[in-house]
Amino acid sequence: GAVVSQHPSRVICKSGTSVKIECRSLDFQATTMFWYRQFPKQSLMLMATSNEGSKATYEQGVEKDKFLINHASLTLSTLTVTSAHPEDSSFYICSSRPLRGQGAAVGEKLFFGSGTQLSVL
Amino acid sequence: GENVEQHPSTLSVQEGDSAVIKCTYSDSASNYFPWYKQELGKGPQLIIDIRSNVGEKKDQRIAVTLNKTAKHFSLHITETQPEDSAVYFCAAIASGGYQKVTFGTGTKLQVIP
């Protein structure tokens, strides 16, 4: 199946610093990447949808200036947590769907990255 | 918007027994229903999916059933093994473009050896 590579898998940072998380689609073109946040023992919460070459769409309650999303190419999307604080500590996951006709031709199938555990001290 | 309810939240079964997880959805426009398995500290992994034009789909020990009229779908795992222990999420999607995925609240499955 399609592969989404997410890095880093774990990051510990000091309060006030910024952290960048990268997601790459390895064998398909991802014109859209979804970014989720997951708290312990909870479901995935969609934060924003990044679109290649255009501005990301943020869900209600998600601060655009706090969570900067860049989708500069068809295979790379990044999420930057700016001026991180302890309350930003969470598990962040990206996902994307290959378009029909691309490689695996998987249509609606959503493939996830391996996640990034962010801990802000 | 779509609302997906998932039950139970936790499930413990003896190795070899079957496990069933149920989900209901609210939006009749939803027509694609994937199931994901998430192990601790990892991203969700698609394990099986079903489209609304099919009532049942099976892949080895895993099967999914869909009742469009009642708007519910279920995951069935037979002959459970310890490695099946994980959190399972159902989801509902109205296909067409890049529609949002609405996830269930998750079921923590524990298979007791």
Residue A95 burial by Cβ neighbours in a 10 Å radius (0-12, 13-18, 19+): buried
Cβ–Cβ gap B98/A97 under 8 Å: yes
Whether the predicted pLDDT of A109 surpasses 80: no
* pLDDT reported for residue A107: 54
Whether the predicted pLDDT of A103 surpasses 50: no
Cβ–Cβ gap A108/B108 under 8 Å: no
* pLDDT reported for residue A80: 97
Nearest one of B84, B89, B83 to B9, comparing CA atoms? B89
* pLDDT reported for residue A105: 39
Q: What is the per-residue pLDDT across B24-80, written as a single tens digit (0 to 9) for each?
A: 999 888 888 999 999 999 999 999 999 888 899 999 999 999 999 999 999 999 999
**Residue in A closest to B42 by C-alpha:** A114
Helix (H, G, I), strand (E, B) or coil at B89: strand
Q: What is the per-residue pLDDT across A24-81, written as a single tens digit (0 to 9) for each?
A: 988 888 788 999 999 988 999 999 998 888 889 999 999 999 999 998 888 899 999 9
Tell me if chain B has a CB within 8 Å of the CB of A25: no
Residues 6 or more apart whose CB falls under 8 angstroms from that of A37 comprise A44, A45, A47, A90, A91, A92, A93
| Residues of chain B contacting residue A32, judged by C-beta atoms under 8 Å apart | 98
Cβ–Cβ gap B32/A93 under 8 Å: no
Q: Out of A5-14, A88-97, B90-99, pick the least confident.
A: B90-99
How large is the C-alpha radius of gyration of chain A?
A: 14
Mean pLDDT score across all residues of chain A: 88
- In this structure, what token pair is assigned to residue A66? 């706090």
- Considering only CB atoms, B100 lies closest to which of A1, A42, A46, namely A46
**Residue in A closest to B89 by C-alpha:** A43
Q: Closest Cα of chain A to B50: distance in Å?
A: 10
What is the rounded distance in angstroms from the CA atom of residue A5 to the CA atom of residue A50? 16
Please compute, for residue A72, the number of CA atoms within 13 A of its CA located in the half-sphere on the CB side: 5
| Residues of chain B contacting residue A4, judged by C-beta atoms under 8 Å apart | 43
Whether the predicted pLDDT of A99 surpasses 70: no
